[in-house]
Structure 1
């Protein structure tokens, strides 16, 4: 049985949708805090189970019979919360006798700082659990920068950035979901650590691509990070080089080149 968590979120949903193209629906169980939100999966033959990262008993029941568990990391980055929730998941997986865990970790988790430290802690918990496991160190989602909000840049004729020209290796949620599905359903992934990264480009490249796709001139303009408001946090992470290094692991897992910048911009502006 393939048991998938996080199915009400974008990554978990992308993973289970791809998994259902690879294995029969009767071999898949979807875990959700509110099963009503994934009633459509039940209608397609998937077993829907209740499971809450804050409720260890529900997790033990939800993971029963799991040959492989896709453990999608919690979105709650409140200090102390995600580490506690992830400890509950690992403990429940051990108690339920899960065969193998596939964990959606993050880039930099070998020595995570700030909110990434939760992934470092979780990887250490999995290593100490005795469970066979696979670590998917996901880069940031391409949708953070490449989304319908680019229409504002087209209208303004400029794209603002505080990235210091540092390149990024972002990947689409869809591609990362396929990678998770492959790692769950395929053989030979136990013990593997995959650095999942997309093609490398810069925000200046993004501005040029938006110009080409939209047919309107869009210039890239560097600005102090303070001018970007809440988005400045992402630009600071980019400027730090956290998501700048290339890796071929994503391409190897999904069996094709990851979605490129132009294709992503075309989708965002469609």
Structure 2
């Protein structure tokens, strides 16, 4: 039996979708904080159990009988509390007799104990100390943060602005990371491994060229001088510093096929129906 924690989130649902193509539904359990919120998974034959990272007793029950546990990192923002939640899950897994854990970590967590990787670094150390067989899936940033329906606006205006300074970006799509996770959970050759996943390196200049070719309309890249607002500005700062240029072939190796190219991603985005316009505000 495979238990997927935090299964109600976007990534967890994608992992379950992939698992359903590889094993029977009654071999899969979704551990979630709100079982009523995943009635659709139950309707597909997936087992559903209460699995709250802040409730160790519930976690022990949720993980009981699991040969493999997909430990998806908590959405908690505070690194200390997040690491404590992960430790509680690992302790519960050991008590419940889980056979092996697959954990969604982050690139650089093996060496960086601060910032974005702080909780992941602590969790990797906890896993090593637990003695449980495990596999580490160190994710890059998701491609969806950069490559999304918002690119339609660049096609319309003919201009794509960024503050990335022409540096490379190694993101990967959630769907491919979920496929890789499902393979790790259902294949026997990954225990004891730590994978550093990256997608194909791309730049905003290349993105502008891809938008032009696929849309048939000229799009030019302009380097933004001011910082973009909010999280986008922070992400672009990381890119400009060269923090997203690391490359490995781990994702392709686990998938058994190349990761999506920039051309493929842009084609899919531009050929999808445009989202409906917002209706009038309710009175």
Does the TM-score normalized on the shorter chain lie above 0.5?
Answer: yes
Match runs of 1:173-188 below 5 Å: 173-188=174-189
Say which SS state the counterpart of residue 226 (structure 1) adopts.
coil
- The answer for the alignment partner of 1:7 in structure 2 is 7
1:253 paired residue number: 254
Report the CA distance between 1:89 and its aligned residue: 1.1
> How far 1:144 moved relative to its partner?
0.7
The reply to whether residue 156 of structure 1 matches residue 176 of structure 2 is: no
Matches within 5 A, 1:20-39: 20-39=20-39
Question: 1 CA distance for matches of 2:62 and 2:176?
Answer: 26
1:141-166 deviations in whole A, cap 9, x for unaligned?
Answer: 11110000111222222111111211
CA contact (8 A) 1:225 1:232 kept: no
Structure 2 portions without partners, runs of 5+: 273-283
Unaligned ranges ≥5, structure 1? none
| Alpha-carbon offset, residue 41 of structure 1 | 1.5
Partner residue of 1:235?
236
Deviation at 1:220, TM superposition (A): 0.8
Give 1:120's aligned residue: 121
Kindly report which structure 2 residues correspond to 1:131-146, keeping only aligned pairs within 5 A, or say none: 131-146=132-147
Q: Which residue of 2 aligns with 1:40?
A: 40
State the Cα distance separating 1:230 from its structure 2 match: 3.5
Let me know the Cα RMSD of the aligned residues. 1.3
Q: Contact between 1:69 and 1:101, CA under 8 Å: does it hold in 2?
A: yes
Residue matched to 1:191: 192
The DSSP-based 3-state class of the residue aligned with 1:207 is helix
C-alpha deviation, 1:195, in angstroms: 1.0
Cα deviation for residue 86 of structure 1 reads 1.1
Number of residue-to-residue matches in the alignment: 270
1:129 partnered with 2:130: yes
Give distance in 2, aligned partners of 1:150 and 1:55. Answer: 41
1:71 aligns with 2:97: no
Verify the 8 A CA contact 2:79 2:118 in the aligned structure 1.
no
Calculate the TM-score normalised by the size of structure 2: 0.92
What is the TM-score with the length of structure 1 in the denominator? 0.96
State the secondary structure of the residue aligned to 1:82. helix
CA distance in 2, matches of 1:22, 1:110: 30
Q: Report the counterpart of residue 277 of structure 2 in structure 1.
A: none
Q: Relative CO higher for 1 or 2, CA cutoff 8 Å, sep ≥ 6? A: 1
